[in-house]
Amino acid sequence: MTPLIHIRNLAIGFPKAGEPNTVVRGLDLTIHRGESVALVGESGSGKSVTARSLVGLTGTGAKLTADVFDIDGENALDFHERSWRQLRGNKIGFVLQDALVSLDPLRRISQQLSDALGDGSFFRRQDRHGESLTLLNSVGIPDPARRLTQYPHQLSGGLRQRALIATAIARGPALVIADEPTTALDATVQKQILDLLAERRRAGNTLLLISHDLAIVSRLADRVLVMRNGQVVEQGPTAEILSAPSHPYTRQLLDAIPSASSRGYRLSPAGHEARITAATTQVPATAKSAERRRLLLPPKSIDPQRKVLTVDHLFKRYGSGAASSLVVNDVSFKLAAGESLGIVGESGSGKTTVARIVLGLVAPDAGRVLIDGRPWSQLTEAQRRTHRAGIQLIAQDALSSFDPRYTVERIVGESLDSVAIFGAERKRRVLEVLDAVRLGPAFLTRHPRELSGGQRQRIAIARAFAPRPKLLVADEPVSALDVSIQAQVLDLLAELQAASGTSLLFISHDLGVVHHLTDRVVVMKEGRIVETGNVSAVFAAPRHSYTQALLEAIPTLA
């Protein structure tokens, strides 16, 4: 049978100033009908631009060459824009990562599904409403008639992603490409989307999955191609590649996955750099534990008697009257000196609002926050300002938290204003923390736009640790990072926390990260704490049904 996708020696470049700037080179890809194939690798590996080439969306200025580039038996190298428009949606459906960006915010779901269903050659206008209802039902959206009348912003993240999948499959394409379809989604919402994709796979649909999450790949893909720097470094049956990888880069990706078994060990290679060294290449795939014994994280010093943070019966309501909602409902916990506490829960559980109250950015309606046993939430902003250096934040999106006009030296140095460190002493401290996060003096004069995502997050960590805070609040600091960059950032956090004795309040929806990094965990649902305790004990034997549901939703390597 003719393959649905048959590509040989694909190269994609974006020539600039006479330079080839090739981002994909020598790639071979074959996908048969009914097969599920995954492309895995980090940002910049070339996997997304490869997927986009299959629908003619490589971008302006792209140069694509191949010995063979056949789609459903046709030579796509000869396609013009009209041919690509006829292919999109009809033969290939595309599901992007961010449904809120991909869906038109000004048009109802019914209108967007009508567009996806195409012109009259597919469905007559009077049939489109019924077909739209069928599509929403097929992707598991409850109350589809009401959802058709709504706008994207009125849907939850999971419903938006389902609606986006509905638009991709509207015309029954032979192939669906899913590019990071669950990144940054809550565990239970992610499970819903994975269940949907798995159901379509069982029904015989063809799937090309783009992901850096190997646990998701192990669940959905028959075959996997591992990409690095634009080339395929390893490929084969998924079970074989993930259980006995032959390439050191694949082993590095597997070792970087945070979990219960990684507690106490570094996730990244020695030196915190994403390098493949001679030492790592000599480690057999079955010797992960032996390698990790040589890469222990430094032990923390926890003083259980000294409570750096006390959160006492917090309440917070947004809105007024019948439209108001109680987002924090009687939340209490304590954090000891040097200890790390994870707060987990789905979007809307109240965890970020608690963090903002702790930081003094939002005032509670009732209850109080104490820092080192002294009032904090009850102080005025002017009073808090003199003590704010003791509490620092690492935000999810480092780039948006930086002034784009500032250099790295000024970004890191601004956190020292509140502790009155200036001049030569400020420069020395900035260089000290940059060295601690494995960046050198060459970065002092750079601006945020000149940094990679991992470098920006390191700068955010350096800025937070510069004034030597007693409490660090990290709100989803690694949720948007590739697995190996995430590993480096988590190692840095653990190392710097151990060296400084700083207490860490870590907010995340990634339970694997929380299990790896934190000592205790608080589980929140609808504004309340439903379970708390030692992280290993809670995750090993959860008592609350919600905690059990969260843990069951985590994808694991098969």
472 versus 214: the higher-pLDDT residue is: 472
Asked if residue 131 belongs to a domain, the reply is no
Asked if residue 462 belongs to a domain, the reply is yes
Which pLDDT belongs to residue 124? 59
> In the predicted model, is pLDDT for residue 184 greater than 80?
no
Asked if residue 51 belongs to a domain, the reply is no
Coil, strand, or helix at residue 460?
helix
Which pLDDT belongs to residue 275? 35
Residue 286 belongs to domain spanning: 265-293
Which pLDDT belongs to residue 269? 77
Same-domain pairing of 271 and 322: no
- CA-wise closest residue to 57 among 31, 90, 92: 92
Same-domain pairing of 402 and 546: yes
CB of 177 closer than 8 Å to CB of 92:
yes
Which pLDDT belongs to residue 119? 61
Question: What's the mean pLDDT in 143-155?
Answer: 92
> In the predicted model, is pLDDT for residue 556 greater than 90?
no
Same-domain pairing of 368 and 509: yes
Secondary element (H or E) of residue 452:
none
- How does residue 277 score in pLDDT terms, banded at 50, 70 and 90? very low
**Range ranked top by mean pLDDT from 400-404, 424-428, 488-492:** 424-428
Q: What is the pTM (predicted TM-score) of this model?
A: 0.82
Strands (E) in 19-170, as ranges, are 22-31, 36-40, 63-65, 68-71, 74-75, 92-95
Which pLDDT belongs to residue 357? 96
Which pLDDT belongs to residue 280? 34
- At 527, the amino acid letter reads G
Same-domain pairing of 365 and 395: yes
> In the predicted model, is pLDDT for residue 260 greater than 90?
no
Average pLDDT, the chain: 88
Same-domain pairing of 446 and 328: yes
Same-domain pairing of 449 and 391: yes
Coil, strand, or helix at residue 91?
coil
- How does residue 19 score in pLDDT terms, banded at 50, 70 and 90? confident
Which pLDDT belongs to residue 120? 52
Question: What's the mean pLDDT in 314-332?
Answer: 90
CA 146 to centroid of chain Cα atoms: 30
Asked if residue 499 belongs to a domain, the reply is yes
Is 479 buried (19+), middle (13-18) or exposed (0-12) by CB count in 10 A?
middle
Q: What's the domain count of the chain? A: 2
- How does residue 307 score in pLDDT terms, banded at 50, 70 and 90? very high
Chain segment 352-373, per-residue pLDDT in tens = 999 999 999 999 999 999 999 9
Same-domain pairing of 289 and 425: no
Which pLDDT belongs to residue 126? 63
- How does residue 20 score in pLDDT terms, banded at 50, 70 and 90? confident
Question: What's the mean pLDDT in 47-61?
Answer: 92
**Range ranked top by mean pLDDT from 85-99, 219-233, 439-453, 484-498:** 219-233
Asked if residue 442 belongs to a domain, the reply is yes
- How does residue 193 score in pLDDT terms, banded at 50, 70 and 90? confident
Cα–Cα distance for residue pair 410/171, rounded to 1 Å: 53
> In the predicted model, is pLDDT for residue 420 greater than 90?
no
Asked if residue 328 belongs to a domain, the reply is yes
- How does residue 483 score in pLDDT terms, banded at 50, 70 and 90? confident
107 versus 277: the higher-pLDDT residue is: 107
> In the predicted model, is pLDDT for residue 282 greater than 60?
no
Same-domain pairing of 274 and 334: no
Give the range among 168-177, 204-213, 464-473, 480-489 with minimum mean pLDDT: 480-489
558 versus 238: the higher-pLDDT residue is: 238
Same-domain pairing of 285 and 423: no
- How does residue 79 score in pLDDT terms, banded at 50, 70 and 90? very high
Is 210 buried (19+), middle (13-18) or exposed (0-12) by CB count in 10 A?
buried
Give the range among 78-92, 175-189, 207-221, 458-472 with minimum mean pLDDT: 175-189
Same-domain pairing of 334 and 474: yes
Same-domain pairing of 289 and 314: no
Asked if residue 146 belongs to a domain, the reply is no
> In the predicted model, is pLDDT for residue 284 greater than 60?
no
Which pLDDT belongs to residue 496? 92
Question: What's the mean pLDDT in 122-143?
Answer: 81
> In the predicted model, is pLDDT for residue 236 greater than 90?
yes
Residue % of the chain over a pLDDT of 70: 93
- CA-wise closest residue to 339 among 382, 317, 307, 294: 307
Which pLDDT belongs to residue 554? 85
Same-domain pairing of 408 and 370: yes
Asked if residue 377 belongs to a domain, the reply is yes
> In the predicted model, is pLDDT for residue 412 greater than 50?
yes
- How does residue 273 score in pLDDT terms, banded at 50, 70 and 90? very low
- At 533, the amino acid letter reads G
CATH of the domain at 347: 3.40.50.300
CB of 458 closer than 8 Å to CB of 438:
yes
**What is the number of other CB atoms lying within 10 angstroms of the CB of residue 11?**
17
Chain segment 364-409, per-residue pLDDT in tens = 999 999 999 999 998 888 888 878 889 999 988 888 889 999 999 9
